[in-house]
Amino acid sequence: MKITVCIGSSCHVKGSKSVVDTFKKLIEENNIADKVELGGTFCLGNCRDGVCLDIDGKIFSVTPQSAEEFFISEVLSKAI
């Protein structure tokens, strides 16, 4: 599974760094680094609804607050 988090200006201001940190922490805690590839990109074309991320071609919106819950439902359940 490939997750690309937007690190461009709009998403950066809305907390992309915090989202990335949450994801990194959860990937490590769940020991799924071999199953989930995390990357960054400068724009996913949906700046109004940042923080944007792309999972295998599908665009999602998260916030630093919803990042953990999102990871559990959208990533963890599918990656394991």
Partner 1 sequence: MRKFDTKVQHLKYQVLREVAKEAWDDTLLENFLDIPKIIVPGDEPTMRCCVNKERAILSERVKMAMGGTRENPNNIEVLPMACDKCPASGYEVVADSCRNCLAHSCEDSCKFGAVYFDHDHRAHIDKDKCKNCGQCAQNCSFSAIVKRERPCMKACKVKAISAEGGKSASIDNSKCIQCGACVYKCPFGAITDKSYILNVIDMLKKSNDGKSRVYAVVAPAIYSQFKHAKLGQVVSGLKALGFHTVVEAALGGDMVALKESRELAEKGFLTTSCCPAFVAYIKSQVPDMLPYVSHNFSPMVEMAKFIKETDKDARVVFIGPCTAKKGEAKLEKSKPHIDEVLTFEELQALFDSREIELEKLDEDCLDNASYYGRIFARSGGVSEAAAQALKEQGIDFEAKPLVCNGIEECMKALLVASKKLKAGQMPEYNFIEGMACLGGCINGAGCLTHSEVKNKMEVDKYGKEAMEKSIKDAVNAVMV
> Which CB sits closer to partner 1, 54 or 76?
54
Is 22 near partner 1 (CB under 8 A)?
no
Q: Which stretch binds partner 1 (CB under 8 A): 26-34, 38-46, 62-70, 72-80?
A: 38-46
In contact, 20 and 71? CB cutoff 8 Å: no
3-class DSSP state for residue 16? helix
Chain residues that interact with partner 1, rule: CB under 8 A: 5, 7-10, 12-13, 16-17, 20, 38-43, 45, 47
